[in-house]
Amino acid sequence: MLEGSCHCGKVRWTLEGDPGSVTICNCTLCRRYGALWAYDFEHGRICLTGPTQSYTRAEKQDPALEIIFCPSCAGVLAWRGLRLEEDGRRRMAVNVRLALPGEVAGLSIDRFDGLDTFDDLPVDGRCVRDYWF
């Protein structure tokens, strides 16, 4: 299980099981937040605890996802999709930069071009430790 928390510690997340690879994205939100995302589904392996607020990102006035953050320190904890997947589930991701570095350092990175092409980019062998500094 992975665990993460905002800077002030009032909000925490857990991710049960193997997180797999994590994603770095260059979209207008992710590049500003500097987040690295580990995915699952709402009411699945991800659990958030503590008070949160959210910012809704809209694409052409159609809400696509919300960014979940701590109302006290503004730490970005997760995002939650506002559209259901074909199977009825809702995607969610937690920001692994909020975990202890040693617990996530070896996770491999998937790069996603969320700015221009909306395509996965070639795997280049980097992992989370390559993006800490």
- At 35, is the secondary structure helix, strand, or coil? coil
The side-by-side arrangement of strands in the sheet containing 46-49 is: 2-5, 12-15, 46-49
Indicate the pLDDT class of residue 61, thresholds 50, 70 and 90: low
DSSP letter, residue 108: B
- 69/96 Cα distance (integer angstroms): 14
Q: What is the pLDDT of residues 63-76, one digit of tens each?
A: 788 999 999 999 99
What pLDDT sits at residue 102? 93
Class of domain 2-131: mainly beta
Q: What is the pLDDT of residues 7-51, one digit of tens each?
A: 999 999 999 999 999 999 998 889 899 999 999 998 899 999 999
- pTM value is 0.91
What pLDDT sits at residue 58? 72
- Give start and end residues of each alpha helix (H) in 1-133: 30-33, 101-104
